Chain A
Amino acid sequence: MQDPSATSAPFNPSTPSPPVILVATRKGAWLVHGDAERRRWRLDGPHFLGHIINHLMLDPRDGRTLLAAAKTGHLGPTVFRSTDLGATWREAARPPAFAKAADGNGRAVDHTFWLTPGHPSEPGCWYAGTSPQGLFRSEDGGDTWTPFSPIHDDPHYLRWMGTVQDGTPDGPKLHSIQIDPRDPAHLYFAMSGGGVHESCDGGKSFAPLLKGLEVVEGFDVADPTFHDPHCVRISPANPDRLYQQNHCGIYRLDRPGDTWVRIGRAMPAEVGDIGFPMVAHPRDPDRAWVFPMDGQTVWPRTSPDGKPAVYTTRDGGESWQRLDAGLPREQAWWTVKRQAMNADALDPVGLYFGTTSGELWASTDEGANWTCIARHLPEIYAVEPAHPAPEAGNR
């Protein structure tokens, strides 16, 4: 955590362009262009119709490079790259892949799940998290990828990662790659399952960051294997603060402390604090949003009682308020996946989420009121508001 004075935001909040919402789905990707008032929206797509797109990200450092993590039916995984906001795409020359094992029994990437642009001081650097759990880095804008850090060969990490028997239904994942905006060598990632991990030396070593987190009753809380972080976000407004939506609740961690606090205890008991996405406010470190889901008994993974709502905290998790104006009042049995809710950089903040039923919802007043801006899309996997460079083109 060196050079704390070198704070550098990934975009310039004072002059962000109208947002483009990057929507990754089970059957392709869409770019949803908003006007300056965020009142009118225009769908550009589908891109990659029929391909599974797990994540679509714009490089905030150049405002024009898009990366798409793709898998196609039974074909192997790849990454597509565009430098003209999706007008044309080119496949990565070397997608994320594990090193070849001498005995031929090594792991193989099933799909790239998570994409994170690198630190502003490292243009062209990107990180990728995969299923099964792997951490990869590109230094050429996503064209070639190499295994990153020793975790792939570390016997502890390999044990903590578990097997496909231990992972999420479509495979165990490495996700939530978070870069400290003050220090490119300070990064975090999370594994489902396998816990939250931190590196302070540019990925040469990682260590678990689990104190205070709960696990399912009956399992060893000291063993990272049993930890299932769903989404971890570093606060852009205070990078010493992390928020986490976990299989076992909502947490906050304030560094240099190392003990997570279960702030989800303050959620209404009838709603609970289980969910997948976690969103931190771009300018207010005490403000965050979650999207609770029904995590009772067999885990229906629907909105609790069929009544979807975003919950927000304005005090770092001491209290939570329900935000459901404009959302269905009843009989809405969808939910929101871990990458499918995020904030733009405008003031007031725009929030966006995509549903498992293919609807894209937007709020231009920090969650107070919601409008459905697209429906009938495939199951939405990821929603990333982006602010392209003006010269990147508006297709």
Chain B
Amino acid sequence: MNVLIPTPLLDYTRQSPVAAHGATLAEVLADLDARYPGIRFRIIDEQNRMRPHVRFFVNGRAVHELTHTLTETDELAIVQALSGG
């Protein structure tokens, strides 16, 4: 599936969107991390929690669980707030 990468994470992927695969959001993030080592820890903490100000949208709808199921035709957008000074 296509995964849209926010600009703060382009140091890892160098492009957006990128392709990744998996039957759940957790699997897709694991696949992304295998392709781009380190990217997962920047958005998911060591307790498997989504980091504050990072959001995931599937086909335009927000998802909040790493167990959310996905299909190959879905489009995943990783969004990171740019708030702050």
Binding site for B on A (CB under 8 A): 72-76, 78, 91-93, 95, 97-101, 104-109
Contacts and interface: CB of A to CB of B under 8 A. Distances in A.
A101 B80 contact: no
B38 A91 contact: yes
Interface residues of B, number: 22
Interface in B21-57: 37-38, 41-49, 51-54
A72 B46 contact: no
21 contacts: A73-B8, A73-B82, A73-B84, A74-B51, A74-B80, A74-B81, A74-B83, A75-B8, A75-B9, A75-B42, A75-B51, A76-B42, A76-B45, A78-B38, A78-B41, A78-B42, A91-B37, A92-B38, A95-B38, A101-B47, A107-B47
A95 B47 CA distance: 14
Interface of A, secondary structure class, is loop
Nearest to A147: B46
A90 to B, nearest CB: 10
Contacts of A91: 37-38
B63 to A, nearest CB: 18
Interface string B72-85: 00000000111110
B79 to A, nearest CB: 10
Most buried by A among B51, B83, B84: B51
A74 B53 contact: yes
Contacts of A107: 47
A104 B47 contact: yes
Interface of B: 8-9, 37-38, 41-49, 51-54, 80-84
A99 B42 CA distance: 16
Given A73-B82, A74-B52, A75-B51, A108 B45 contact: yes
A104 B80 contact: no
B29 to A, nearest CB: 13
A98 B51 contact: no
The 3 closest A-B pairs by CB, nearest first: A74-B53, A108-B45, A97-B46
A97 to B, nearest CB: 4
Given A100-B46, A108-B45, A76 B51 contact: yes
B8 A76 contact: no
B5 to A, nearest CB: 12
A108 B42 contact: no
A97 B41 contact: yes
A104 B65 CA distance: 13
B81 A108 contact: no
B4 to A, nearest CB: 16
Given A91-B38, A93-B37, A75 B46 contact: no
A100 B15 CA distance: 31
B75 to A, nearest CB: 22
Nearest to A108: B45
Contact of A76 (B37, B43, B48): B43
Contacts of A78: 38, 41-42
A76 B47 contact: no
Contacts of A75: 8-9, 42-43, 51, 54, 80
Nearest to A103: B47
A104 B82 contact: no
A134 B45 CA distance: 15
Nearest to A95: B41
A76 B40 CA distance: 9
B42 A100 contact: no
A107 B44 CA distance: 13
B74 to A, nearest CB: 24
Nearest to A92: B38
Contact of B49 (A99, A104, A109): A104
Nearest to A26: B85
Nearest to B83: A74
